[in-house]
Amino acid sequence: MTDAVPTSTELAHVTTTMERIHTSMSSVLSGLDSVITTTLTTVLAGGHILMEDVPGVGKTTLARALARSIDAQVGRIQFTPDLLPADVTGVSIYQANTHHFEFRPGPVFANVVIADEINRASPKTQSALLEAMQEGSVTVDGTTHALPSPFLVVATQNPIEMEGTYPLPEAQRDRFMTHLSIGYPSADDEVAMIDGRDGGDPLARLTPVASLSDLEHASAIASRVYAAPAAKRYAVDIVAATRQHSRIKLGASPRATLQLIAAARAAAAFEGRNHIIPDDIKYLAPAVLSHRVVLTRDARHGTVTQAEIVGDLVANVPVPRATAPGARNVAGSRASA
């Protein structure tokens, strides 16, 4: 990258901003520190998030808590089998008084778009988000319309084994930077959840703790975090390993490599570092890669998950050294950096 690495003052802005948002979201979601951190890392990196889990564990609540914490314009789309692409992107309506077509924006024209139960809609409707997620725009009737900035899609879905769902096309899954699963809460966290609702809906009590400009500034700083040649090669080697694994039929794409580095830069900035360390990449690899790989038939019928397979192959890729600017023979650690 040609831009200078972030200064300590700039990194302090990133850390302070993201910690405020993290604290705000944690006040609504008990016991989800790791999920919130990965969510905010994805947001900082300019990516989109796919959350897959059983109903009722807080997927939509997490997305709404994020939107309220950054004072974002929210668009919510409830995906159903009869939803049409125009219901997502918008439609051009002929105005008889002006003899022109007027574009009526759909719910995708927002800073944070919550695509709820995205796998309930047909693949044709799911694909209506492809251009929006990749280009930050939508094209309707030959006219391209720019989306607000920043633009983030937080899609939720139930496991594909549930009745009445459609698996996301591979091209659609590849547009999501990270894939997260919340899981069931512990007994203590579930009690805390009950206590938090004694005074009403905790989401209603959330107020913005950061502005959209704060977030855009933090993202710009994170994009300048130093990625050493050794760190870049490490990410490439991990992604290449998904294309050679005996249990993986289709490995991750080059887009996955780019997004893994972008997420690692954000993770480093979140922790106040001006350079990527190998542990950033190791930590994020399962979230960035697991939803992009297609398992072999035998592997799909087994008990091992995609995330576990990715974690296994990451453990077998040699870790590089000297990843800090000017460093010599230094292997980074998230715990010690």
Q: List, for residues 137-166, the tens digit of each pLDDT value.
A: 999 888 899 999 999 999 998 775 566 678
Cα–Cα nearest to 168, from 68, 292, 37: 292
Cα–Cα nearest to 114, from 163, 167, 51: 51
Same structural domain for residues 98 and 160?
yes
Same structural domain for residues 329 and 180?
no
Distance CA 77, CA 80 (A): 9
Same structural domain for residues 53 and 136?
yes
Same structural domain for residues 189 and 209?
yes
The token duo for 75 is: 């668009």
- pLDDT confidence bin for 313, thresholds 50/70/90: very high
Q: Please name the amino acid found at residue 49.
A: I
Same structural domain for residues 184 and 240?
no
* E strand or H helix at 155: strand 152-157
pLDDT at 211: 93
pLDDT at 327: 55
What 3 state SS string does 292-337 have? CCEECHHHHCCCCCHHHHHHHHHHCCCCCCCCCCCCCCCCCCCCCC
What percent of the chain clears pLDDT 90, i.e. is strictly above it? Answer: 58
pLDDT at 164: 67
pLDDT at 205: 87
Cα–Cα nearest to 91, from 129, 132, 145: 145
pLDDT at 142: 87
pLDDT at 330: 43
Range of the domain at 207: 1-224
Output phi, psi for 291, to 5 deg.
-80, -10
Cα–Cα nearest to 280, from 37, 65, 98: 37
The answer on pLDDT for 19 being more than 90 is yes
* Domain CATH code at residue 321: 1.10.8.80
- The mean pLDDT of the chain is 89
- Between CA 213 and CA 220, with CA 216 as vertex, the angle to 5 degrees is 140
- Between CA 202 and CA 208, with CA 205 as vertex, the angle to 5 degrees is 120
> What does the pLDDT average to over 274-283?
95
Among 50-64, 119-133, 171-185, 323-337, the minimum mean pLDDT is found in: 323-337
pLDDT at 304: 82
| Greater pLDDT, 269 or 143 | 269
**Using an 8 Å Cβ cutoff, are 120 and 80 in contact?**
yes
- Between CA 306 and CA 310, with CA 307 as vertex, the angle to 5 degrees is 85
Distance CA 306, CA 290 (A): 5
The answer on pLDDT for 87 being more than 60 is yes
Same structural domain for residues 135 and 91?
yes
> What does the pLDDT average to over 6-21?
96
The answer on pLDDT for 335 being more than 80 is no
* Domain CATH code at residue 204: 3.40.50.300
The answer on pLDDT for 230 being more than 90 is yes
Same structural domain for residues 269 and 145?
no
- Between CA 169 and CA 175, with CA 173 as vertex, the angle to 5 degrees is 125
Same structural domain for residues 270 and 327?
yes
- pLDDT confidence bin for 59, thresholds 50/70/90: confident
pLDDT at 56: 79
Same structural domain for residues 314 and 189?
no
- pLDDT confidence bin for 221, thresholds 50/70/90: very high
Q: How many CB atoms lie within 10 A of CB 263?
A: 29
Decide: residue 198, CB within 10 A, 0-12 exposed, 13-18 middle, 19+ buried: exposed
